[in-house]
A and B are shown apart, each in its own frame.
Chain A
Amino acid sequence: MNKNILLCGVGGQGTVLASKLIASAAMRSNEIVHSAETIGMAQRGGSVTSHVRIGANASSPLIPYGSADFILAFEPAEAVRNLNYLKKDGIVIVNSVPVKPVTESLRSTGYDGTEMIEYLRKKCKTVIVVNAEEICREIGSTKIFNVAILGVAIGTGKMGLSKENIISEIETRVKESFREINLRAFEKGEQIGAKYEIK
């Protein structure tokens, strides 16, 4: 299997854990995995990306433009920022709830994410829009969206990763007190993803 998955968002949204879950789940099926992440100063509220590359075809830790099978975007503008990584027929899963930068509160430009979602719909073959606030409210935690979006991706059936391996990884990597809630978030995401029929 060869798959390129790009996760993007804003520092503090939990993209790193999500990419670790994908990578280690793939390793459970004896796949070769490479990834690269943003660490350091940019983590403080800046744009962050994780490139996850599964399979022997990947030489570099960074995905070349036009090669991502999936973009998992934790924030609408970040999906657009990274769109040139997407394959022509790649899938975008995007959270519709924007993270407004401090500069936006200081000098309003009216950014609310809707323009970004419209642009994604115009450009891409498959865009799955999910509302993180609604999911988090239903599950009862603000910190589970990273696992929920992973559920959506698995639910589409196009990730090439087994659900069981992801669940095993959640069970290994997430602290016991948060495990149950994360598993519920994953299943909720999976149900959403399963509704989409992707050709």
Chain B
Amino acid sequence: MNKEYVMGNSAIALGALAAGVNLVSGYPGTPSSEIIETIQKYRKDEVYLEWSVNEKAALEVAAGAAYAGARTMVTMKQVGLNVASDPLMSLAYVGVKGGMVIVSADDPGPISSQTEQDTRLFAEFAGIPVFDPTSPEEAYQMIQDAFDYSEKYNTPVLFRPTTRVCHAYASVEFDDNFHAKKYDGFVKDSKKWVIFPRLSYNNHINMVKRNALIGDDFSEYIMNTVEGSGKKAVFASGVSYAYAKEYLQGREDVTLVKIATPHPFPEKLVLPVLENCSEVLCFEELSPYVEKQIQRIAGVHNLSVKVFGKTTGNGKLAGENSADYAAELISEFLNEKLPDKFDISDMPDLPVRPPVLCAGCPHRASFYAVKKAMEGRKTYFCGDIGCYTLGNAAPLDMTDTCLCMGAGITMAQGFNHIDRDAVAFSFTGDSTFFASGITGVVNAVYNQADMILCILDNSTTAMTGHQPHPGTGRTMMGDIVEKIDITKVLEGIGLKKIITVNPFDQTKAIEAVRECADIPGVKAIIFKAPCIALFKPAERAYISEKCVQCKKCIKEIGCPAIIITDGKVAVDNALCTGCGLCSQVCPVKAIGGV
């Protein structure tokens, strides 16, 4: 055994390795990305690992291996589960042979996501079990249990940590003497593995009956716990349990119930608790999932228990919980007074800090070139998911829409079909292009859209922490393989105009945009320059005495490295990367050094 200070995501990875996982696949997404990175660090040669092109591909790769009896894990963030939902829903009917755990990390807040969706509801929707860890230490053990239950019931299972479990650190004791599981291999049987309406009908009935049995089994699962006693009970799940525990530490007069397996619900464990108490507070994040289960059980068994939670106004409708919020809610529930807080109601106005594109980020130059080229023309700027979503901020203001992965390319087509007079643009990163952009380009070419496809190619998946993708030529198995060339992909689809340009060469970049704007059909501009976090040039910009303090550099490009010190424009040397964009913007050529 070994003990290290590790992130929750690392604990999940180490737990999967301890469970003998044979294959791991996934797509990067905050807060899930470090699971696969940890597998890469600790895996032995017998474990196959990949960043798949997207979540759907990842889940299907793992399903194939699980049909053959291998233990597999798939990782993604919660919105990734939407992409993977097509194979997931069917797989729930077909089932698996080897244990298969789908980790879908939820993001209450949301801190780094488009939605506050709840994977527990997805588990109920798909009809499969879900595990909800409360801490990194627990996640390490629980993911091993998840593999066992998956194999016991031949079903894929969901595992849903939240941001505060994924990105929490703890001292975790783990077994580093692990080996991948031996498996029998695939046994052909088309009546079992080929989904058909008849099979789905039969398996649907089996799933419902089986889930009732799993609920009974979960009622005896050691991670579902009842602590303390008393007429008042707090039900909590996930990290909210840790917050509740913080308030109720050492208390025996209040019942605290932890729901580690929200679906199928451990009803047999919960029923005696409900029969013995008068009031229940459900403390959870995202949906009132546990709360509705308690309401249902109380109704079915005609229990006289009052149930409080989000549906009664005793819980947040959105956003994450915290230790303080637990104290606030639970103290009110128990009619207790909280100690006085530090009063900071008189604090001065604080500066707002929206996230911004880094100093030297090539996306800033790409957006600026398009902005300059299109001055005075009617345009639609359809953005996408990645660092470049931050192109929405002032002063660039170059993102009119952002919906989901890949949507920029297809939404631009919608704008174009109803407004032929405007120029429709999409902005897509290289990783997003491979994940879900290509089909959108095929759609545009086939359906005769007029649009400019801007690929912001920074040679990495930057926002989630620089994971490789098909265009980088590096795999998670450590191999160097042929890069998939975006230009060749576009040529293959039939694009006639494809220009590759360095966005920091503003003259050429602006020219490229102007040229494309006046040609019908689908045109592509590949703005190619590496992410500044991967490659740091040594030069720094400086402001010479020629500066007339017009502040055009600040007003036009909003680079965090250009600041005002003592009323004058200056360069923050700690941030400047010498990209040279500001020197091209300056009307009096006062910025040197680059």
Residues of A within 8 A of B (CB): 10-12, 20, 23-24, 27, 32-47, 57-66, 77, 80-81, 83-84, 86, 88, 100-106, 108-109, 111, 115-116, 119, 123, 142-143
Contact = CB atoms under 8 A, between A and B. Distances in A.
Given A20-B169, A27-B5, A46-B353, 9 more contacts: A35-B170, A39-B30, A40-B464, A44-B355, A47-B353, A61-B170, A64-B327, A65-B342, A106-B558
B30 A123 contact: no
B373 interface: no
A60 B242 contact: yes
B339 interface: yes
A112 B122 CA distance: 48
Interface of B: 3, 5, 30-31, 111-112, 135, 164-165, 167-171, 239, 242-243, 245-246, 249, 322-324, 326-327, 339, 341-342, 344, 347-358, 387, 390, 393-395, 463-464, 551, 554-555, 558-560, 562-564, 573-575
A108 B554 CA distance: 12
A142 B324 contact: no
B355 A41 contact: yes
A36 B168 contact: yes
B333 to A, nearest CB: 17
A103 B341 contact: no
Residue with the greatest number of chain A CB neighbours at <10 A, chosen from B111, B555, B574 = B574
A10 B353 contact: yes
Across chains A and B, which 5 residue pairs bring their CB atoms closest together, nearest first? A40-B112, A61-B168, A40-B30, A64-B323, A44-B355
Nearest to A32: B171
Given A36-B169, A41-B112, A106 B322 contact: no
Given A45-B355, A86-B342, A23 B348 contact: no
B169 A34 contact: yes
Contacts of B170: 33-35, 61
Contacts of A27: 3, 5, 171
Contacts of A81: 350
A84 B554 contact: no
B168 A34 contact: yes
18 contacts: A10-B353, A27-B171, A33-B170, A39-B30, A40-B464, A44-B358, A45-B353, A45-B354, A45-B560, A47-B353, A60-B323, A61-B165, A61-B239, A101-B560, A105-B558, A105-B562, A108-B564, A123-B344
Nearest to B166: A39
A124 B351 CA distance: 21
B465 to A, nearest CB: 8
B351 A111 contact: yes
B356 A44 contact: yes
B245 A106 contact: no
A102 B559 contact: yes
A34 B11 CA distance: 13
B355 A43 contact: yes
Contacts of A58: 246
B559 A106 contact: no
A36 B242 CA distance: 13
Contacts of B326: 60
Nearest to A113: B351
B353 A33 contact: no
B342 A64 contact: no
B391 to A, nearest CB: 12
Chain A CB within 10 A, most for which of B169, B554, B555, B574: B169
Contact of B354 (A35, A59, A103, A119): A103
Nearest to B342: A84
A109 B351 CA distance: 9
A101 B353 contact: yes
B353 A23 contact: no
Given A33-B5, A39-B30, A66 B341 contact: yes
A160 B165 CA distance: 26
A46 B354 contact: yes
Contacts of B356: 44-45, 101-102
Contacts of A105: 551, 554, 558, 562-564
Contact of B164 (A12, A62, A143): A62
Nearest to B553: A105
Contacts of A23: 5, 169
Contacts of A24: 5
A36 B111 CA distance: 13
B30 A102 contact: no
Nearest to B357: A44
A39 B168 CA distance: 10
B361 to A, nearest CB: 9
B563 A41 contact: no
B573 to A, nearest CB: 7
Q: Which of B3, B249, B355 is most buried by chain A, counting CB atoms within 10 A of its CB?
A: B355
Nearest to A85: B342
Max count, chain B CB within 10 A of own CB: residue among A35, A64, A123: A64
A64 B329 CA distance: 14
A104 B351 contact: yes
Contact of B395 (A66, A77, A106, A115): A106
B560 A65 contact: no
Contact of A40 (B111, B395, B559): B111
B111 A41 contact: yes
A152 to B, nearest CB: 20
B243 A42 contact: no
A122 to B, nearest CB: 9
